[in-house]
Copies of this chain bind each other. A is one copy, B any other.
Amino acid sequence: MSIIFSKKCEYGLQAVLYLSSTTTQPVVSAEEIAKTLYIPKEFVSKILQELTTSGIVASKKGKNGGFTLNKALSEIRLIDIVAAIDGFDIFNKCVMGFPNCSSESPCPVHGRWSVLSKETYTMLSEETLEDFLAKTKHKIQSIQK
């Protein structure tokens, strides 16, 4: 089971991160991404299709086709991928599942969770792929099994 993102979203984040580390290639095939990330090929290409629709990724059909990022690295944040796939629900809902939990009628952890939720949002929106790449080349291989 996944933590706060759906599996689809996790895979989407991983795939985009991988694309950001392969900018020397014009496009990368779904197969290569799938093999590197140990994600089913059909699934990852479906996810990248969706991200193509939302403008984050571009695709090229036919022989030597594949996927590539559709924006500059400095213009892509993790939150953009999350928003495109899972939406913003996790930042708005009550962590205990109470339908009417709010600052007026808070659940026991409403205040504290609001802070953590906001910090999570910040974590995903403050830095761009460019920042990540500057700090450290993503060693995707080493965080895969």
Contacts and interface: CB of A to CB of B under 8 A. Distances in A.
Interface of A: 1-7, 10-11, 13-14, 17, 38, 78, 89-90, 93-102, 105-109, 112-113, 116, 119-120, 123-124, 127, 132, 135, 138-139, 142-145
In this complex, the member of A108, A109, A112, A139 whose beta carbon has the largest number of chain B beta carbons within 10 angstroms is A108
Contacts of A132: 108
A72 to B, nearest CB: 17
A106 B13 CA distance: 15
A3 to B, nearest CB: 5
| Assembly stoichiometry (copies) | 2
Contacts of A5: 95-97
B3 A98 contact: no
A124 B116 CA distance: 12
